[in-house]
């Protein structure tokens, strides 16, 4: 847009977008450095240790305040996931039942397909277009 060409902020954003790849590459190379990799590994270990310390300390504190801890929230998340699994299993079962019903009530030759409980499957007879080679 012409107005945008006069906008110094838009110009700066354009410059950033165009030069981002080079900046990103420089940062990624820096992160791949041996010292950085070691530092990151150590940071991860320290973060895990701190996380465990806080979790243990906070869970008792939160329980005293009658508030849920992260572990309680994860328990709820797991239970919701299990309910979703059950729903998916019911969907699978319903689909299988529908297919079963469609088979048992399959229209005889000459009957209208609308008698079937499930739309007729498309024929597996498609050939590639002649242009494909």
Site residues, another protein (CB under 8 A): 1-6, 10, 13-14, 16-17, 20-21, 23-24, 27-28, 31-34, 37-42, 44-45, 48, 51-52, 74, 77-78, 81-82, 84-85, 88-89, 91-92, 95, 121-129, 132-133
Q: Is the Cβ of residue 42 or residue 105 nearer to another protein in the bound state?
A: 42
* Separation CA 10–CA 43 (nearest Å): 38
Chain centroid to CA 118: how far?
31
Say which residues have a Cβ less than 8 Å from residue 69's Cβ, sequence separation at least 6.
55, 58, 59, 62, 63
50/56 Cα distance (integer angstroms):
10
Give least dist CB 112 to another protein, A: 16
- Closer residue to another protein in complex, CB, 72/78: 78
Q: Which is nearer to another protein, 4 or 64 (CB)?
A: 4
The number of CA neighbours under 13 Å toward the Cβ of 73 is 6
> Of 67 and 83, which has the nearer Cβ to another protein?
83
Q: Which is nearer to another protein, 45 or 65 (CB)?
A: 45
Q: Which long-range contacts (CB under 8 A, 24 or more apart) does 20-25 make?
A: none
Minimum CB distance to another protein, residue 77 (Å): 7
* Separation between Cα atoms, residue 22 and residue 2, nearest integer Å: 28
Rounded to a whole number of angstroms, the minimum distance from the CB of residue 88 to another protein is 4
Cβ at position 64, least distance to another protein in Å: 25
């Amino acid at each position: 847009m012409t107005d945008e060409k006069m906008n110094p902020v838009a110009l700066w954003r354009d410059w950033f977008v165009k030069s981002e790849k080079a900046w990103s590459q420089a940062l990624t190379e820096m992160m791949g450095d041996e010292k950085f990799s070691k530092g990151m590994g150590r940071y991860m270990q320290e973060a895990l240790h701190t996380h465990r310390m806080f979790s243990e300390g906070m869970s008792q504190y939160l329980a005293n305040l009658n508030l849920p801890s992260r572990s309680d929230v994860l328990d709820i998340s797991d239970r919701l996931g299990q309910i979703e699994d059950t729903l998916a299993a019911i969907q699978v079962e319903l689909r299988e039942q529908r297919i079963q019903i469609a088979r048992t009530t399959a229209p005889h030759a000459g009957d209208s397909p609308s008698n079937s409980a499930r739309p007729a499957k498309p024929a597996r007879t498609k050939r590639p277009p002649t242009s494909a080679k």
